[in-house]
Structure formats: C-alpha cells, structure tokens
C-alpha cells in the first residue's frame, strides 16, 4: 500500500511539473507581439539615438528610408528618438519599440532582461576608438604635447562621467592602464558635465560624440585624449525583439538589408554633408558643423585623433565579440547586470552573416574615414 501511494505521489508530481512547464511556456508566448504573418505588411517602431554618432546608420535609415525597398509593401515604420540608450531599451522591454539602435552598454544590458522581454544583438552599427571614448579637459587646461601627457595631468583632478555608460568603462580602463588616480571621480550626466565646464568647476570628463565636438566648438572644453591613446574601442549595436526575429524572418532580413545599405551610405565620403544635414534635422541644440565634426573631422594626434572615425563590421566579428565580452565583464563588476557572460543566444551573428553572403560582401563592409576641416561645406 505504501509503495502504491509513493508511485501515485511521484506520478502526480511529474504531471504537475509538466503542467507548470506548459503554463510557463504559454505565458512566454502570450507576451509576444503580433507582427502578422510572413509576407504581410508590418508596423514597426524603431528606437534610435541621433545623439550618439556611432549609431548614425539609424539617422541615415530614417532620412533615406532604405527599408522601403525591402519591407513588404504597405508596411509602416515609425522612428522614436532616445536621448540615451536606456530609453530605447526600456521601450523595447515594454513592447513599445521593436528594433533598437543603441550603444554597446545598453545593448548588452538589454539582453540580460529576458525575464521581462527577450532582446537580441543582431548587428554591429560600428566600432571606433573616439566615438564614446573621448577625454575633454577644461578650456584653460595646458596645451599638452601629447594625449599621453594629458592623461598624466588627470592625476588628482576632478573627472566626471555618466557612470555605467561606455564612458565609465573607458575611463576606468584608462586609469588602470596609465596608473592614474583622479582626485574625485564624479557620476554626472551630460547636462551636468556641460554646466560644470561652463562654470569652471570641472577639470575633465569623458563624453561621447556628438556632445564632445559640440563642447569643443562652443569653447567650453578642449579635447585631449581618446581611446586611440590607450587602444580602447567603443561600439554600437542593432538590437531586435526575439518575437520579431522568430515570427517575421522576412522582416528581419529586409531590415538588415536596409541597414547594410545605410552603412554603405555612411562609408562614402561624398555623403558626409548630407549625413550632417540629416543629423541636424533629427536633433536639437547642435550646429551642423559640430555634427559633421563628430563623425568626419580628423582631430590632431595630440588630442587622440584617428584616421578612421568608425569601422563598419556590420556582422559580429571576433573584434566585436571581444568588446561585448569586455563590456559584459565590466557591467557585472559594477553590478549593472547579474551575469558575467551573456547567454549564447543573446548575440546572433548568423543573421547578418547570411545577408553578407547573399550580397557577396565580407566584413568589414567599409569605414568612415576622417576628413580635414577644409572638407566641410556647410554654413
């Protein structure tokens, strides 16, 4: 009798466990967005950051509408500006946006929130060394002979960054590599940093483009070093919701083909002025010259200038994956995420690899070359 009772108990436990798994799977599916059937017109909301230059293929996509060539006829695309990557990520988690153009840090964070919504990194928007990784010093700082000399000057100085961002990772890696101990390491957003430079209360900060070029051109700060100084990269990623990837592979393929067109457009220096104009139309508070400079200007070597402003891998190359791994380790160390390694499915290089193969292209597909100031043709 006791054995029978035990067998019944085990059988009931097994059935309950199976039922619980079925309910859990059903709940996950219930959270899906209905994107329609393959081949049908689709409605997409795309979050993007015109205030982060390395993700400007989103600016080009909105301005040139390359997606119209590839999406099913009758599809509708709305673009939503995110002042920061976290804004785009939160909207994607809430199901209000479906595709996101973001920096490396918010892109990585988004993939770790799969209990809320499953977001994947599907493409690289760009890699650089002076897009997020830019040291600015106060306007009356010395005229340094080299960017390395400028970094030594930071010892004992007040340095600000928006903590948890790509600038924070870069600053901390630089301090470690160059044995720098700032007098204070402040957590400040871009607005507070701008005010600090204007009031003369801040010695230095790490900010991203196009804000870096704006502050320099407004005479509030001087550029003194970049990731090129210490061989540290930054990047931007294209993210998508998993339910879009799973249910509308035709839409995913279409968008990635359009994204490829946008990146090829970025790589052509003949388009530089048009790109700056598009960026100006999609932002506020920036001059066209500052926007052009943020993507195309060749800054001096002594200020961490580079010949190549942005490399365009398009797919997830070993170099891109290395950046993801390093940034993930950093985010875990500062407790922004609860994993030190992303789940295998969080990054999906196979989607862009298939597009490249079909188009007969290889990575990198191009790069944005730095141009002399005389190349600027705007007002």
How do residues 318-355 score in pLDDT, each as one tens digit? 999 999 999 999 999 999 999 999 999 999 999 999 99
Residue 21's pLDDT is what? 33
Spatial distance between the Cα atoms of 99 and 218, rounded to a whole number of angstroms: 34
Residues 236 and 55: beta-carbon distance below 8 Å = yes
> For the chain, what are the domain ranges?
43-129+234-375, 134-230
Per-residue three-class SS string for the chain: CHHHHHHHHHHHHHHHHHHHHHHHHHHHHHCCCCCCCCCCCCEEEEEECCCCHHHCHHHHHHHHCHHHHCCCCCCEEEEEECCCHHHHHHHHHCCCCCEEEEEHHHHHHHHCCCCCCCEEEEEEEEEECCCCCEEEEECCCCCCCCHHHHHHHCCCCEEEECCCCHHHHHHHHHHHHHCCCCCEEEECCHHHHHHHHHHCCCCEEEECCCHHHHHHHCCCEEEEEEHHHHCCCEEEEEEEEHHHHHHCHHHHHHHHHHHHHHHHHHHCHHHHHHHHHHHHHCCCCCCHHHHHHHHHECCCHHHCCCCEEEEECCCCCHHHHHHHHHHHHHHHHCCCCCCCCCCHHHECHHHHHHHHHHHCCCCCCEEEECECHHHCCCC
With a cut of 60, say whether residue 316 has pLDDT above it.
yes
With a cut of 80, say whether residue 13 has pLDDT above it.
no
The order of strands in the sheet holding 221-226 is: 184-187, 158-161, 204-207, 134-138, 221-226
Confidence class for position 24, pLDDT limits 50, 70, 90: very low
Residues 103 and 280: beta-carbon distance below 8 Å = no
Kindly state the tokens that stand for 72.
């099913």
How do residues 154-167 score in pLDDT, each as one tens digit? 999 999 999 989 99
| % of the chain with per-residue pLDDT over 90 | 90
Spatial distance between the Cα atoms of 320 and 123, rounded to a whole number of angstroms: 10
Confidence class for position 84, pLDDT limits 50, 70, 90: confident
How do residues 168-207 score in pLDDT, each as one tens digit? 999 999 999 999 999 999 999 999 999 999 999 999 999 9
Residues 210 and 282: beta-carbon distance below 8 Å = no
- Please state which architecture CATH assigns to domain 43-129+234-375: 3-Layer(aba) Sandwich (3.40)
With a cut of 70, say whether residue 16 has pLDDT above it.
no
Spatial distance between the Cα atoms of 140 and 200, rounded to a whole number of angstroms: 9
Do 43-129+234-375 and 134-230 share a fold? yes
Spatial distance between the Cα atoms of 166 and 123, rounded to a whole number of angstroms: 18
* pTM (two decimals): 0.90
Computed over every residue of the chain, the mean pLDDT equals 92
Spatial distance between the Cα atoms of 305 and 227, rounded to a whole number of angstroms: 9
The CATH class for the domain spanning 134-230 reads alpha beta
How do residues 228-270 score in pLDDT, each as one tens digit? 999 999 999 999 999 999 999 999 999 999 999 999 999 999 9
Q: Given phi > 0 = left and psi -120 to 50 = alpha, else beta, which region is 155? A: beta
In DSSP terms, 99 is beta-bridged to 46, 240
Spatial distance between the Cα atoms of 29 and 118, rounded to a whole number of angstroms: 11
């Amino acid at each position: 009798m006791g054995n029978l009772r035990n067998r019944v108990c085990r059988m009931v436990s097994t059935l309950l466990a199976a039922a619980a798994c079925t309910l859990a799977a059903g709940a996950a599916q219930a959270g899906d967005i209905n994107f329609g059937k393959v081949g049908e017109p689709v409605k997409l909301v795309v979050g993007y950051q015109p205030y982060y230059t390395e993700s400007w293929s989103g600016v080009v996509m909105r301005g040139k509408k390359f997606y119209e060539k590839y999406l099913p006829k009758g599809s509708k695309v709305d673009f939503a500006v995110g002042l920061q990557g976290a804004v785009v990520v939160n909207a994607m988690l809430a199901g209000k946006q479906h595709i996101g153009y973001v920096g490396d840090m918010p892109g990585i964070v988004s993939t770790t929130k799969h209990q809320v919504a499953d977001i994947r990194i599907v493409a690289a928007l760009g890699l650089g060394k002076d897009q997020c990784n830019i040291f600015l010093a106060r306007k009356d700082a010395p005229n340094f002979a080299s960017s390395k000399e400028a970094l030594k000057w930071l010892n004992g100085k007040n340095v600000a960054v928006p903590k948890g961002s790509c600038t924070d990772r870069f600053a901390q890696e630089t301090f470690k590599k160059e044995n720098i101990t700032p007098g204070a390491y402040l957590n400040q957003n871009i607005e507070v940093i701008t005010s600090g430079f204007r009031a003369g209360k801040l010695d230095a900060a790490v900010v991203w483009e196009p804000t870096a070029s704006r502050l320099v051109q407004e005479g509030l700060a001087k550029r003194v070093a970049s990731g090129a100084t210490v061989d540290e990269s930054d990047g931007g990623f294209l993210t998508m919701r998993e339910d879009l990837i799973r249910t509308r592979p035709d839409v995913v393929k279409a968008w990635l083909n359009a994204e490829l067109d946008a990146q090829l457009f970025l790589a052509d220096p003949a388009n530089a002025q048009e790109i700056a104009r598009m960026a100006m139309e999609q932002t506020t508070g920036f001059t066209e010259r500052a926007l052009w400079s943020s993507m195309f200007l060749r800054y001096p070597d002594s200020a961490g200038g580079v010949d190549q402003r942005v490399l365009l891998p398009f797919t997830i190359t070993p170099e891109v994956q290395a950046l993801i791994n390093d940034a993930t380790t950093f985010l875990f160390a500062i407790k922004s995420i609860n994993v030190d390694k992303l789940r295998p499915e969080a990054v999906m290089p196979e989607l862009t690899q298939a597009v490249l193969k079909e188009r007969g292209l290889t990575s990198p597909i191009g790069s944005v070359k730095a141009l002399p100031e005389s190349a600027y043709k705007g007002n």
